[in-house]
Structure formats: structure tokens, C-alpha cells
Amino acid sequence: MIEKELSNLLSNEIINAKNYHQFIKELYERIEEYVFRPGKRLASCSTLIIFKGLTGRIDTKILKICVGIELYRHSILLHDDLADDDKLRRGEPTLHNIYSKNYDDNFGRNISIFTGNILQTLALKSIITSGFKEDEINQIIDLINHNLQSVNESQILDCLFEHRKPDVAEWYVMASKRAATLFKVSLLTGALLANASPKDLKLLEKVAENIGYCFDIQDDIIDTFASEEDYGRKPGEDLTKRKKPLHIVYTYLKASSKQLNEFEKSIFKKRLQDIDKIREIISSSGALEEAKTRSRFHAEMAKKLISETSLNNGEKKFFLSFIDYIKDSLNWYG
């Protein structure tokens, strides 16, 4: 249902762009391809399921809001791809990579910046024209605007950590505005438009925070330990960029001097052929299990909190199952 609404919006933009300039039309077609790559739709589906779980209904208005959430999420992904100079997104070339090959690197970077901005405007367009009352729409826009600022602050700290070694507490400061923030936007948007009680809003905010931590830790472990076939790109690339996910923060705390010397030699020389050695150090030092333990803790907290909300049982079961999936997938790695 969300994708049908999303397709309608992007199809109209492609038609409008055709009357403006052929290159811009082709850009919107690229946007459509990027947005419709196989993915989980976690952000928009979370909004929809929360709304349905509190109201018992789905209508065109909430679907348009979900489209806005989906486009908001993809605007962040586009800029994230660029900041990390990722070559692939969901197994296909990133947008800046496509245009860099066709033109040059500067052109590719510029296109990705401006296209990310366009996706933000399209997100607002879908929300503003959703049909909800003006005060409700303003509330959602304020929520998104506040959290977009938070996500960018988190991204800045993520860049900073490439040049320093954060401790666990500082990692949590950064992560508190990363996936946690994105889940807050998704869950609270659905809850606010469903006129959720103050109690439910408070519970769902904490649910989102704990799912975000759980998801971030799991996602970072996947980057290091998943196979290229399963992940859609070479494992460990974040580490060669000196990223500091939680399992690496713990590695610096727990590994021996000899292990750290070998670890840094491999990472800083970008020797991805040493990925098995890197994984062995992270695992044998106890860092991987420590990070998994934190992720499982946040999963259990999220499950406890979601059980205390007023969501219908069907929607509660969905979130409990989803959280278990994130938690249990930790067993696949290391």
C-alpha cells in the first residue's frame, strides 16, 4: 500500500520533470529506481503499524504520511552514502557513484547532495498534502525537523570518531541520535496522528530508543562479520574508514597490546584481505560478545515497553517478532 502511494508520487514528479528538462526527468527516474530497491521499509511500515495498532484502521491520509517518512529516510541514506563514499547501496551502485562514472567525482557528489535535498522536499510535500488537520501536520513536521537536526549531529560525531577513540558512554551519546532518532520519528509519527495518550507516547519513545540501539549494534556487527554474498558489499569497509562501532570500542578496551597492534596494522593499511584476522581479534578479545550482550539488553527492554502500550495485540506481536528477529540474528555472526 505504501509503495503504491510512493509510486504515484514519483510518477507525477517524472511527468512534471519531462516538461522541464530531459536530464531532470532522468534524475527522477534514478530516484525512483533508488527508492524502490529491495528493502525492509522499516521506517514507513513502523509508522503505519503504530497508527493501525492504536486506531484499528488504515486510510489514504496515513499512507501519504508513510510515503513522507520513507522519502525522509531515503534523503538521509543518500547523504550517508556520499559522506561514507559508499559504492553500493542494497547491492546496486550508489547515486553519487553512478554520476561520478558518467561525469566526474565532483559532479556525482553535487548530484547526491541536491537529490537528497529534493527527497526532503518531496517528503514534506506528501505530508503537507496528506489531508490531516493543519495542527497535526505541523506537529509531524516539527518532529521530523527536530530529529533531522539530531541525525546530522550524530553523523558529525560519527565522522569525529574516525579520528579518535570514544569510550562506551560517548558511543551511546552518538548513537542516541542515530537509528534511535529515526525510529522515534517513525513510531511517534504514527502515535501522534492516532492521538495516542501521553503514557503511550512516552513508552513508544523509549521503545524507539532501545530498538535503535539494538539495531545499530546489530547492523554494525553485520558490516564486519557478514559475507559479501549476504551483505551485498565487501565486509569490513566501515572499519577501513576508521569507524568506531560499539564492538570496536569494546575491542580497544578488551584486546591485548599485541592484538591491538595487529588490529590497527590491518585497519589503517586498509588490508581487507586480513578480515578473518580482524574478526578473530574482535571475537577472541570478548568485544563481540560484549556488544551482542548490549544489543540483547536493549531488545528485551524494547519488548517489555512495547508490551505495556495500548497497541492492539496483532501489532504488539509484530513488533515483538521484529525485535526478536534483530536480537536472534546476532547468533548468525561470530
pLDDT reported for residue 271: 58
What is the identity of the amino acid at 89?
R
Q: Say if CB 177 and CB 151 are below 8 A apart.
A: yes
* pLDDT of 283 higher than 70: yes
Cβ contacts of residue 260 below 8 Å, gap of 6+?
A: 251, 252
pLDDT attached to residue 218: 95
Q: Which of 283, 217, 271 is nearest to 240 (CA)?
A: 271
pLDDT at 333: 81
Of 118, 332, 91, which is closest to residue 218 (Cα–Cα)?
332
**pLDDT at position 232, please?**
66
DSSP 189-222: HHHHHTT--HHHHHHHHHHHHHHHHHHHHHHHHH
What pLDDT shows up at residue 40? Answer: 79
What does the pLDDT read at residue 267?
75
Judge whether residue 302 has pLDDT over 70: yes
Give the H or E element holding residue 278. helix 275-284
Q: Would you mind telling me the total number of residues written for the chain in this entry?
A: 334
What span, in angstroms and rounded, lies between the C-alpha atoms of 204 and 187?
A: 7
> Which of these ranges, 100-114, 143-157, 320-334, has the smallest mean pLDDT?
320-334
Q: 251-280: buried (b, 16+ CB within 10 Å) or exposed (e) per residue?
A: bbebbeeebeebbeebbeeeeeebbeebbe
Residue-averaged pLDDT of the chain: 94
Please tell me the predicted confidence (pLDDT) of residue 235.
78
Instruction: Report the C-alpha dihedral over residues 260, 265, 268, 272, rounded to 10 degrees.
Output: -110
Distance CA 136, CA 68 (A): 14
Look at residue 311 and give its three-state secondary structure: coil
Predicted confidence at residue 268, as pLDDT, reads: 64
One-letter amino acid at 242 equals R
Return the C-alpha cell found at 134: 493543519
Q: Average of pLDDT values for 258-271?
A: 79
Q: What is the pLDDT of residues 158-192, one digit of tens each?
A: 999 999 999 999 999 999 999 999 999 999 999 99
pLDDT the model gives residue 158: 95
Percentage of the chain lying above the pLDDT 70 cut: 97
Whether residue 131 is predicted with pLDDT greater than 90 in this model: the reply is: yes
pLDDT at 258 over 90: yes
- Report the alpha-carbon distance of residue 113 to residue 104 in Å, rounded: 15
Q: Looking at 56-193, list the stretches that DSSP marks H as alpha helix, in order from N- to C-terminal side.
A: 60-83, 95-102, 105-128, 134-160, 168-175, 179-193
Kindly indicate the confidence band of residue 147, based on its pLDDT and cuts at 50, 70 and 90.
very high
Greatest extent of the chain over all pairs of C-alpha atoms, in Å: 63
Torsion from C-alpha of 77, 81, 84, 89, nearest 10 degrees: 110
Percent of the chain topping pLDDT 90 = 84
The pLDDT-based confidence of 38 (bands split at 50, 70, 90) is confident
* Residue 279 confidence (pLDDT) above 70: yes
pLDDT band at 332 (very low <50, low <70, confident <90, very high): confident
Q: What is the CA radius of gyration of the chain?
A: 21
Burial 155-180 (b: 16+ CB within 10 A, else e): bebbeebeeeebeeebbeebbbbbbb
* Per-residue model confidence as pLDDT tens digits over 183-235: 999 999 999 999 999 999 999 999 999 999 999 999 999 989 987 777 667 77
89: enclosing H helix or E strand: strand 88-89
The predicted model scores a pTM of 0.94
